[in-house]
Structure 1
Amino acid sequence: MTTGIKALVLIDAFRMGGAETLLAPMISASRDTDVTMDVVSISPAEWNSEKTMAILAEAGISTRSLGIRRLLDPVALPRLVRTIRAGRYDIVHAHLEMAMTLAVPAGLLVRRPVVCTFHHVAHPLTGRAAKRERLAVEAATRSRRALFVSEASRRSFAETYRPHRMPDNWEVMHNGIDITNFSPGPASPQVHSDLAASNAGPVVVLPAAFRDFKGIPIAIRAWPQVLARHPDAVLALTGGGELEDDLRRLVAELGLENSVIFVGVRTDMPEVYRAADVVLLPSTYGENLPTVLIEASATECAIAASRIGGIPDIVPDGETGLLFEAGSTEGLADAVCRLLDDAELRRTLGTAAGERARQEFSATAWVQRLRTTYLEAIGSRQ
């Protein structure tokens, strides 16, 4: 009978990024289990993001920073070893490169198992960045488990670093998020009005930062094809960013000002998803496990998205949404129109998406998978 698991969650620094912001739902969900997680960053406290620290503090999560500035710092390994021993941890879970590279040898020295998680899709690197990533991969491959948050991530690392044979301890484990507020429900008339402006037709929501890899220009260029079949449809661009002026110019050039609406950044995304007839994500590269698709799935939205990166992990084509080839305006328009044509298809896919989100992508499900992995790693040590 287990008496509980004490885990040291180790991260490079509390910066503002995907891995860092996932700590709050993971640790909050662990409180309902026998897993205790302490969060420590490798780097100095002054490297931390104020916004990330505020998110963690709001969730009641205390943190520590070890003050290590570089891998070759002579105090790095001894300081981490002392931290593991003093905390009497059963296991170390390292996130990101520097944490992995130090955690694996430290774990060997104190005879504690280490689990590592990669949070991105590998892409060609040069110079020091390439060396740092290769070191992290070598370290993680010597840990009990090297976890990748999508199949696309695992495959990309295998192609880059292990092209002939994928190591046996490389596994896919999807991250989870807090989906408590993302549940289906009636649409707010006010939110629907915000998204649709003066239009009365169906609303397609594109929730994304205005960055080049999100493929927003492809959606805009495809929109005339959607309008040919659904003249009153609206594309609601929900977000903001550096490319907004370029996107507005493209909308004006195509004469789409009345049907492509710039909604701005919203803080009420559950209500936005409930008001959407379709949620669209036309990313062209760089996506690993986009949170907006998990949120939309949990809200039981009908989804159309590009077949890129880890998106198929969230949206199995034809099961919880429709996928199209990245960069294809024809494919995007066809997927969106198929969903707008068929209310029953939207309902069926949305219901399946909600069930998949709860079972596979909730923070609760994630922590239960981690607990099983921790027990296996601890058991193999014993």
Structure 2
Amino acid sequence: MRVLTLVDAFRMGGAETLLAPLATAARREGIELEVVSLMDESVASTKTLEVLDQAGVRPRMLRVKRLLDPTAIPQIVAEIRRSRCDVVHSHLEMANTLAVPAARLARTPVVCTFHHVAVPTIQGQARRERLAVNVATRADRTIFVSTAQLDSWHAMYRRGPVPDNWTVVHNGVDLDLYAPDVPQPDIRTELTGGRATDGPVVVLPAAFRDFKGIPVAIEAWPLVQERCPDAVLSLVGGGEMEEEIRDRIARLGLEKSVVLAGVRSDMPAVYRSADLVLLPSIHGENLPTVLIEAAASGRAVAASRVGGIPDIVDHRETGLLFERDDPAALAAAVIELLEDADLRERLGTAGVAQARTKFSADAWVRNLRRVYEAALASPSRPKIRS
């Protein structure tokens, strides 16, 4: 099977970097994947192109300048015909909007995937999203990567029943990188700011953005320290909120127990050096890859009950869930896990098993193959589920 994968551009983002493990797993499944961006190299991330190159992907780039570019659909139709693909699979809003009419003109089945939870947004962006989902609903299949994501798009942009061609397919991760039996260096000292400690290390891996809930974790940390005075919270990441986060840590006098560990490229070692992985997002999460990676590494996780996180974390089976934007609830979950090593081990072991079953790149591709086969067999206009 030949699949032409279309994305808006090779920017540095979650959807774009997932193309590398997807392409690698697709080859194992006998699917030939060709990856094309609508926009040219002027908006491409060098890092993303390097990641794709390391995965053996030789991407192509079109020269679509904007959504209303009059050359866009002719360029895509020509690319579909050149590729001689069996299925077109588009990712992200711009690609979804343009791929469907182009694929129809090229008489090729088309599948669309959305990658973020729909939230109230500025008017112009809302109009683009509404257009994208309305067009994608005319595709042979439209994929959402979590149940919460599908529900959010339906609530915001569709009336009536869920369209019959909408489905949920979880993304996957190259789990071989995170397997617990793969030796990793111990970097606990780096995660604690150079201070040797025998206390537990809680890693919060996230971009420093408002929806990640990092301030909630900082506000909760004095409560954690009352019961676990040697615990260290290691913030792995960086971004626009860094100064605000530093100020909050200083205001609460937490400089010795909350550490900014910076952006890391050795995440398998980060997870393995942690006692617990924490994600306190307050909104906007779809299917956070860090929780899949942490689970695959055998680490228990504590996370907020928001967005697609419950698709990954089964409460008290593979981790603990707590209510969002609630420092006391966050602290209670962290304390319970830090004080109960047996619980951490049980949840970590269960997380490994679930990651291998539901969230491996191979499982992802097998599920996509079923969607592609359904698209090949489907009529051009989907029915609406009653």
Tell me how far apart the structure 1 counterparts of residues 242 and 288 of structure 2 sit (CA, whole Å): 21
In the alignment, does 2:315 pair up with 1:340?
no
Tell me how far apart the structure 2 counterparts of residues 189 and 232 of structure 1 sit (CA, whole Å): 22
Q: Which runs of 5 or more residues in structure 1 are unaligned?
A: none
**CA RMSD between the two structures:** 1.8
SS of residue in 2 equivalent to 1:31: helix
Tell me which amino acid in the other structure corresponds to 2:104: L
Tell me what 1:205 maps to: 203
Q: Once the two structures are superposed, what CA deviation does each residue of 1:239-285 show, in whole Å capped at 9, x if it has no partner? A: 22332232222222222222222222222221221121111111111
Q: Among 125, 134, 143, which residue is 1:138 paired with?
A: 134
The 5-angstrom pairing of residues 236-315 of structure 1 reads 236-315=234-313
Q: Among 63, 69, 77, which residue is 2:65 paired with?
A: 69
In the TM superposition, what is the alpha-carbon distance from 1:74 to its structure 2 partner? 2.8
Task: Give the direction of change, closer, same or farther, for the CA distance of 1:76–1:251 in structure 2 (3 Å limit).
Answer: closer
Tell me what 2:172 maps to: 176
In the TM superposition, what is the alpha-carbon distance from 1:188 to its structure 2 partner? 6.5
Q: Once the two structures are superposed, what CA deviation does each residue of 1:187-214 show, in whole Å capped at 9, x if it has no partner? A: 8684123334232111111111222221
Stretch of structure 1 that moved more, 104-113 or 73-82:
73-82
In the TM superposition, what is the alpha-carbon distance from 1:186 to its structure 2 partner? 8.8
Tell me what 1:194 maps to: 190
Tell me which amino acid in the other structure corresponds to 1:205: V
Task: Give the direction of change, closer, same or farther, for the CA distance of 1:188–1:149 in structure 2 (3 Å limit).
Answer: closer
Tell me how far apart the structure 2 counterparts of residues 281 and 126 of structure 1 sit (CA, whole Å): 27
Tell me what 2:376 maps to: 378
Tell me what 2:320 maps to: 322
| Conservation of the 8 A alpha-carbon contact between 2:185 and 2:269 | no
In the TM superposition, what is the alpha-carbon distance from 1:59 to its structure 2 partner? 1.8
Tell me what 2:214 maps to: 216
| Conservation of the 8 A alpha-carbon contact between 2:96 and 2:135 | yes
Tell me how far apart the structure 1 counterparts of residues 218 and 123 of structure 2 sit (CA, whole Å): 37
The 5-angstrom pairing of residues 98-137 of structure 1 reads 98-137=94-133
Tell me which amino acid in the other structure corresponds to 2:8: D
| Conservation of the 8 A alpha-carbon contact between 1:185 and 1:274 | no
Tell me how far apart the structure 2 counterparts of residues 356 and 21 of structure 1 sit (CA, whole Å): 22
In the TM superposition, what is the alpha-carbon distance from 1:185 to its structure 2 partner? 4.6
Tell me what 2:10 maps to: 14
Sequence identity of aligned pairs in percent?
A: 57
**Would you say how many aligned residue pairs link Structure 1 and Structure 2?**
378
Stretch of structure 1 that moved more, 254-263 or 326-335:
254-263
Task: Give the direction of change, closer, same or farther, for the CA distance of 1:260–1:376 in structure 2 (3 Å limit).
Answer: same
Tell me which amino acid in the other structure corresponds to 1:35: I
Q: Among 149, 164, 170, which residue is 1:153 paired with?
A: 149
Q: Which runs of 5 or more residues in structure 2 are unaligned?
A: 381-386
| Conservation of the 8 A alpha-carbon contact between 1:215 and 1:283 | yes
SS of residue in 2 equivalent to 1:209: coil
In the TM superposition, what is the alpha-carbon distance from 1:50 to its structure 2 partner? 1.9
In the alignment, does 2:7 pair up with 1:36?
no
In the TM superposition, what is the alpha-carbon distance from 1:164 to its structure 2 partner? 2.6
Tell me what 1:88 maps to: 84
SS of residue in 2 equivalent to 1:112: coil
In the TM superposition, what is the alpha-carbon distance from 1:327 to its structure 2 partner? 0.6
| Conservation of the 8 A alpha-carbon contact between 2:175 and 2:296 | yes
Tell me which amino acid in the other structure corresponds to 2:356: R
Tell me how far apart the structure 1 counterparts of residues 367 and 28 of structure 2 sit (CA, whole Å): 14
Stretch of structure 1 that moved more, 132-141 or 372-381:
372-381
Tell me how far apart the structure 2 counterparts of residues 261 and 79 of structure 1 sit (CA, whole Å): 49
Tell me how far apart the structure 2 counterparts of residues 128 and 189 of structure 1 sit (CA, whole Å): 47
Task: Give the direction of change, closer, same or farther, for the CA distance of 1:127–1:219 in structure 2 (3 Å limit).
Answer: closer
Q: Among 32, 52, 58, which residue is 1:56 paired with?
A: 52
In the TM superposition, what is the alpha-carbon distance from 1:381 to its structure 2 partner? 5.7
